[in-house]
Amino acid sequence: MSTDTPQPPQQQTPPGRQSAMTPVPDCGEDSYVGTGRLAGKVALITGGDSGIGRAVAIAYAREGADVAISYLDEHDDAEAVAEQVRAAGRRVLLFPGDISVAAHCRDIVERTVAEFDRVDVLVSNAAYQMSHETLEEISDDEWAFTLNTNVSAMFYLVKAVLPHMPSGGAIIGSSSVNSDMPSPTLAPYALTKAAVANFCASLAQLLGERGIRVNSVAPGPVWTPLIPSTMPEEKVANFGADTPLGRAGQPAELAPAYVLLASDDGSYISGARLAVTGGRPVL
């Protein structure tokens, strides 16, 4: 796993393609070794085509889970993940589409259950962000889309999944270090990530009596397509260099946290927020 930083300046059109990044993020394709901790489980992962979601999908498959992957329209990246899941001997479903739309969220849950009978693990990971130097630059439509993609989608998905999630199930939301240390140029995104952490804490209390655990992961700067597709080149080039560890994280370095929270190793962890930030504090 490379620890070199910074990355060369680069930009893409949102939502970005992992295959077009330099360097290509490490999602554990050549390094993650499973030990059967999710054997027989069914996982639904949003944003599973690239970045953190891709690393989680690969790790879950190698831990023994069948995987359903939601993504927007990055078909080549999604198929590359599907090949990794199949190579691990597990079944995979691919669901392109916009999770900011409630009906689509319900549809992907219904289709997952129709194929796999249930959902043991829900990972609400997909997110949208865009950098803006002033508040006036943020359109009403972008504000609404950011909240719907990052927060409302999780509500839609959880509500749809609950009738099909047995006791022992796990729900994991992707929060961010921005929830506590908000970047002023990412104000809508930072707000949504605080909301994800708060929603997970509420759900942990609501769903504990059903035997369902709910937690969030708070990543720091991680090298994913979100970065070159939503930040100016000069910020991309130095992304992650200001962390105590001096570099951006790789998606593969996040996957073990999501495995812990989905597996029996985390059987008494609920209502927690697990920080994987390269040393940046999360309160």
Q: Which residues are catalytic?
A: 189
- Residue matched to tokens 């992957």: 69
Please name the residues in contact with 30: beta carbons below 8 A apart, sequence gap of 6 or more: none
Helix H or strand E encompassing 217: strand 213-219
Query: Is the peptide bond prior to 23 cis by the omega test (within 30 degrees of 0)?
Result: yes
Q: How many CA atoms lie within 13 A of 74 on its CB side?
A: 29
Please name the residues in contact with 37: beta carbons below 8 A apart, sequence gap of 6 or more: 63, 64, 259, 263, 264, 265
- Is residue 46 a contact partner of residue 126, using CB atoms and an 8 Å limit? yes
Question: 3-state SS string over 67-87?
Answer: EEEEECCCHHHHHHHHHHHHH
Angle, vertex CA 152, rays to CA 78 and CA 199, nearest 5: 105
**DSSP annotation of 7:** P
